[in-house]
Structure 1
Amino acid sequence: MASDEGNGPVRVDSWIWSVRLTKTRSAAGTACRAGHVRVNGERAKPAQPVRAGDEVRVRLAGRERVVVVSRLITKRVGAPVAAECYVDNSPPEPPREQVAVVAVRDRGTGRPTKRDRRDLERLQGGRGGGR
């Protein structure tokens, strides 16, 4: 297995990619440079070493993942093996909002009438009520 447990620290960007928190290694490096990765509360550069027991916070797609490193790896592994390499302390994912109703007009029906515009405004939250 691709384990570096006896060889010391591993780069944080490599570890984040290896345990499947990001899809690509370059995305992990970009997240580090943008300040979306913290190791033990400090902003992490891509080459910052990570050790077993460190807390890694990764903010991607509006969600923060909080994981504690339990095993160091440098090669990307399958999801079941990757899940064994960290303890996930992330807050629960917020419930998905219901899909908003989108007003659809038939193609070729021309400009909306005043009544149609009022109905659309009502659906979109009452914007532009009146004068």
Structure 2
Amino acid sequence: MTSRTDEDAPGKVRVDKWLWAARFFKTRALAAEAIDGGKVDVNGDRAKRAKQLQVGDEVRLRQGPVEWVVIVRDVQGRRGSAEIARGLYDETDEGRRKREIVTEQLKSMPTAFSHGDSKPGKRDRRALRRLKGDGG
């Protein structure tokens, strides 16, 4: 009985392993969840977990409002340092531009409701109740 390993396909690695090794996700389970959710495309097609990546493939990855478009530069199934992870891909100019625009837009948006530094006092709770229409 033989088991499949990274050595079975030299120069190729599973998409979920590569995304984890390239530090796009903290765990392989999160990478697999993103793939199953349709947030990862390889060469224009929706990816599956076991899809084999090779050097030169284009990976499109959506993380919330941010979209990464990267070209695979090296394949590695083991997680290394951040420097090694950064060497696994090259971000396209188009992808970088779009990502920077989105991050700037997010920074310029007003923040959501602030809860303040402490919980509401008696007077604040009464004002909230009046605002909600609960009486008081």
TM-score, normalised on structure 2?
Answer: 0.71
> For residue 103 of structure 2, what is the aligned residue in structure 1?
94
Sequence identity (%): 34
Q: Which residue of 36, 40, 46 maps to 2:39?
A: 36
Gaps of 5+ in 2: 1-5, 132-136
> For residue 128 of structure 1, what is the aligned residue in structure 2?
none
CA distance in 1, matches of 2:115, 2:81: 43
Larger radius of gyration: 1
> For residue 126 of structure 1, what is the aligned residue in structure 2?
none
TM-score, normalised on structure 1?
Answer: 0.74
How many residues align? The count is 114
CA distance in 2, matches of 1:51, 1:42: 15
Gaps of 5+ in 1: 118-131
What SS does structure 2 have at the residue aligned with 1:112? helix
Deviates more, 1:52-61 or 1:96-105: 96-105
Return the structure number with greater helix share.
Answer: 2
RMSD of aligned residue pairs (Cα, Å):
2.8
What SS does structure 1 have at the residue aligned with 2:127? coil
